[in-house]
Amino acid sequence: MTSRGSEHDEHDEHDEHDEHDRGGAAPDPEAAPPRAPGAAEVVFGERLPLAERFVQCLATTGVTHGLIGPREVPRLWGRHVLNCAVVAELVPCGAAIIDVGSGAGLPGLALAIVCPTSEVHLVEPRRRATDWLTATADAVGLDNVVVHHARAQDVVGTVVAPVATARAVTRIGQLAQWCAPLTSAGGTLLALKGASAATELDEDAAVLRSAHVVDHEILRCGLEVLETPTTVVRLHLADDHQPGIAVVPEGSGPRRGRAGKGRRRPSRS
């Protein structure tokens, strides 16, 4: 697992995260996490033990770090972990992934578990969250995760992947502006969204064009395994899109992003 950092410790990429409901009592660190439902074995297969360790971390230190609300603990599997993991249906085998605004590792760590041949970059500006992500990736046993303590804007020019993901981070237009510079030509942005998806696509059409988005779809993942399938907006970037150049307001001109410092931890054997 790799950890890289910058000087940022901000919260602006998580305005809509429902896992940040902090109401309720503090968790008992010795309490058993929610039992894995049958769908978890279907989704994770032989890697289910890793997913169970992830849920254990979410139910305990995820709550004490303020990344998951205590009232979310009983529904961690269905509403959070499986909801994110099924997005792997849209990730080409072995494709690298950049998860923007990773927070509690949703969807980033869930995808790292179900996609072991994909290198997953978690981009998160809050120090307490990146510390937790690093510790949790180690506890789960993941060696395909890179944690960046930075804003998306600050890794432009240093991190590029064919797939970018985000869950409830911000409006789709703003998200495209952040993620397009990190995404390869012809790549895709997978945004986990709710009922506002269609409205945002319509209202943010001009912004999406400025971010080199040439097509979009609203898809449902996990139809055969989840009671409530996951809604995903898939944005397609142009084949001639140039990653590594920040998307800025019209008339400002392109500029290169600024990368944070980092350190690499040896992979597990």
Feature table: binding site for S-adenosyl-L-methionine: 101, 106, 152-153, 167
Q: Which residues are annotated as a binding site?
A: 101, 106, 152-153, 167
Q: Is 253 exposed, middle or buried (0-12, 13-18, 19+ CB in 10 A)?
A: exposed
Contact by Cβ (8 Å): 81, 108: no
**Peptide bond just before 70 cis, omega within 30 deg:** no
Q: In this structure, what are the phi and psi dihedrals at residue 78, rounded to the nearest 5 degrees? A: -70, -45
CB atoms within 10 A of CB 147: 30
Structure tokens at 50: 């890793």
CA–CA gap between residue 218 and residue 42 (Å, rounded): 24
Residue 241: CB partners within 8 Å, gap ≥ 6?
180, 183, 184, 185, 186, 187, 212
In whole angstroms, how large is the CA radius of gyration of the chain? 17
Angstrom distances, CA of residue 214 to CA of 85, 101, 117, 171: 26, 24, 28, 18
Residue type, 26: A
